[in-house]
Amino acid sequence: MRSQRILIVRLGAIGDVVNCLPLLNRLKNADPQRYIAWAVEPKAYPILEGHRSIDKIFLFPRKEPWKIPQFIAQIRQQRFDIALDLQRILKSGLITLFSKAPVRLGFDRSRCKEGNGLFTNQKIPSHPHSGVMLEQFLEFADLLKVPPSPVEWKIAIPSEIHSWADKLLAPLSHPRIAIHLGASKPANRWRSERYLELAQRIQKNWGAGILFTGGIEEAEASHKIKNSSNLFLNLVGKTNLKQTAAVLQRCDLVIGGDTGPIHLAVAMGTPVVTLFGAANPQRTGPYGYTSWVVRKDLFCSPCGQRTCPLKTYACLEELRVDDVMGKVQSFLQNVT
């Protein structure tokens, strides 16, 4: 019997692409002959690049919309048996529909946006306690009756990047703690000044080797770090995704908001302490580390909004350095 040809549609964001990898590996582990392709946007492509469970990657031309017909034509040529829409939005729904896969599997309508449920012909049953997103993605394997397998990510990191990271972090003492600045959503961003105070207190209390990571959009925060201490390793805006993964893998703990690199750290086997504001940690929290989430239980949170509807960002503003220090202390006492 011919093995299935499966298309995964998950274009972004980085954290969600990372959280889809255990589903990918479960599909491949059950039948190594399965042909599995993935439609993704360029920003998240490095997460998938070189992954041994992926047979083909289709890059969605987000910034070149005139190339979309060619993109769709390339997908159709593969004659997929099943398309899995893991994104739940209009764009992913249309890609799933235009793939012409006879089985188009998506979430139930209560978990879809922008009319996405109209484009799939089989639905994951609704679930009152569906868990974090990684667990929700694994529901696709359950519906397809794919046997369970260990949760694993298997992100491919070239040996030269591993060597680079070893050399870079060698001077840092243990515990090595990475602090990731920023997040794509304003409602997930804690003040950089507080992250800096947190780093100073952790270093003073535990003699930790502190490094900062973040995107180029955190340039101002990076400048503050540079001026505050020459004892911190400042990698803000200086690493790509593969390099960031290798660096986080070599840390004892990663601290940050609800953002992709936190999920990347988990995938690389590093524990995380995560600061949550508007988002619901029971849905978007880090797999296996929701008990290490720091948040304030306010009347308005979690609202799940990108920006604060009240314009106060109280859920983050009321989250103090002492709150995070308490969780970090608990963690370090358990592992040291």
pLDDT digit string (tens) for the chain, length 336 residues = 678 999 999 998 899 999 999 999 999 999 999 999 999 999 999 999 999 999 999 999 999 999 999 999 999 999 999 999 999 999 999 999 999 999 999 999 888 888 898 999 999 988 777 789 999 999 999 999 999 999 999 999 999 999 999 999 999 999 999 999 977 777 788 888 899 999 999 999 999 999 999 887 776 777 777 666 667 899 998 999 999 999 999 999 999 999 999 999 999 999 999 999 888 899 999 999 999 999 988 888 887 787 877 787 778 888 999 999 999 999 888 765
Place of tokens 């298309």: 7
In order of their start, the domains of the chain are 5-143 (3.40.50.2000), 160-335 (3.40.50.2000)
The answer to whether the pTM exceeds 0.85 is yes
Distance of alpha carbon 318 from alpha carbon 277, whole angstroms: 10
Residues in the chain: 336
Q: Catalogue the E-assigned strands of the chain.
A: 5-9, 35-40, 56-59, 82-85, 103-106, 122-123, 176-180, 209-213, 233-234, 253-257, 272-275, 293-294
Please give the full DSSP string across 150-190, using - where no structure is assigned.
Answer: ---------HHHHHHHHHHHTTPPSSEEEEE---SSGGGPP
Distance of alpha carbon 46 from alpha carbon 191, whole angstroms: 28
| Amino acid code (one letter) for 66 | W
Place of tokens 């030269």: 160
Please give the full DSSP string across 66-105, using - where no structure is assigned.
Answer: GGHHHHHHHHHHT--SEEEE-S-SHHHHHHHHHTT-SEEE
Distance of CA 15 to the CA centre of its chain: 1
pLDDT at res. 335: 65
pLDDT at res. 228: 66
